[in-house]
Amino acid sequence: MVVAHHVSDALRLSFAMFWQVLWPLALGFLLSGVIATVVSRQAVSRALGRDTPGSFGRAVALGAASSSCSYAAVAVARALFRKGATLGNAIIFEFASTNLVIELGLVLLFLLGWQFLTAELVGGLLMVVILAVLFRLTLRPRLVDAARRQAERGLVGRMEGHAAMDMSVTGGPVLRRLLSDRGRTAVSQNFVMNVYSVWTDIALGFLISGALGAWVPDSWWQKVFLTGHGGMTEVWGALVGPLLAVVSFVCSVGNVPLAAVLWRGGISFGGVIAFVFADLIIIPILDMYRKYYGSEVTRYLLVTSYATMVLAGLAVAGVFQLAGAVPADRNVSVFQTAVSWNADTFLDIGFLVIVAAVLVRFVRTGGIAMLRMMNVGAA
């Protein structure tokens, strides 16, 4: 009976968190589907072939526009590298496509507040700048050559089929493309494929967060995060946040409910931001790097990525502290509220109706066959 009660508490909290962010999550994926419909991946690969400030800016902008789950982002980056993008620009594109995306920002906003959304956007931009500087200083031609030799072997990772698909509609004004039959179909395909690629991570994120939030007392987290020790707490949080992400096996938007649990438990503000950024160094992603680029390049990407996440988290925390914008309240509202007939519930129902219509179009236009191809290696 006691076990059943604890499990019930965890599931209730998991569902309450999911219900609170359902409509922002659906909205984010719909907007990402719209953007992917008008941004061609062929155009992306042509724009990233040189190590120049202009190519860096295009890598960031096109990455943010090409919202992807972490696995698909890594597969797309390898495909871009094989098609002529520089290794540095391919990785920067990958970081932007997972950390500067609409759905992540909306979930952060509605689960944790505007400060975390702003910090994620500012920190995400800072992170790609730091990463570009580190690549310029430390990425040697020998490593690039080793990465290219391994990439050309074409070893299969995850979401290879998804990475190879380009459902964009080109030619003509943007609005006309979106409202055409092809455009509406492409939006539905991009929406469903993006959701399908991350649904396990999102589900795991909410389930793990519900369990941790219901079962692990805040006093334990406070000891782990050295809460109340001033600057030491801030530095320690930024150092340990990405390490927790590595062993969580959860990436993409699924990180955000876990971040809410850690924030309530006492991790520093910079630690939360560094944790959210760390979806590209979880163990399954590192295994993809090993297949795509080889062991030596994987170690290089792990070290540079971790350093970038820590530095970005600390820098953003410092700026927010100087501005007096770090939240003082650690009470995440979802931990104190239950599902009820409020504005969020009506919005959730409305967006579920929209999602149902999108799913119907997806199925009627051959979408099921596309889903079967998502993990098939590209030729």
pLDDT at 377: 53
Domain ranges of the chain: 13-372
Q: Evaluate if residue 159 carries a pLDDT over 80.
A: no
pLDDT at 341: 84
Q: What mean pLDDT, rounded, does the chain reach?
A: 87
pLDDT at 236: 96
pLDDT band at 42 (very low <50, low <70, confident <90, very high): low
pLDDT band at 161 (very low <50, low <70, confident <90, very high): low
Least confident of 62-76, 188-202, 353-367: 62-76
Q: 217-264: per-residue pLDDT in tens?
A: 888 999 999 988 888 999 999 999 999 988 876 776 778 898 999 999
Q: What average pLDDT score do residues 139-166 get?
A: 81
pLDDT at 379: 46
Q: Evaluate if residue 199 carries a pLDDT over 80.
A: yes
What percent of the chain has pLDDT above 70? 91
pLDDT at 50: 76
pLDDT band at 301 (very low <50, low <70, confident <90, very high): very high
Highest mean pLDDT among 203-217, 248-262, 277-291, 295-309: 295-309
pLDDT at 98: 87
Highest mean pLDDT among 32-41, 141-150, 242-251: 141-150
Q: Evaluate if residue 101 carries a pLDDT over 90.
A: no
Q: What average pLDDT score do residues 117-143 get?
A: 95
Higher per-residue confidence, 36 vs 183: 183
Q: What average pLDDT score do residues 328-354 get?
A: 84
pLDDT at 121: 94
Higher per-residue confidence, 7 vs 41: 7
Radius of gyration of the chain from its Cα atoms, rounded to whole angstroms:
20
Tell me the pTM. Answer: 0.85
Q: What average pLDDT score do residues 180-208 get?
A: 88
What percent of the chain has pLDDT above 90? 42
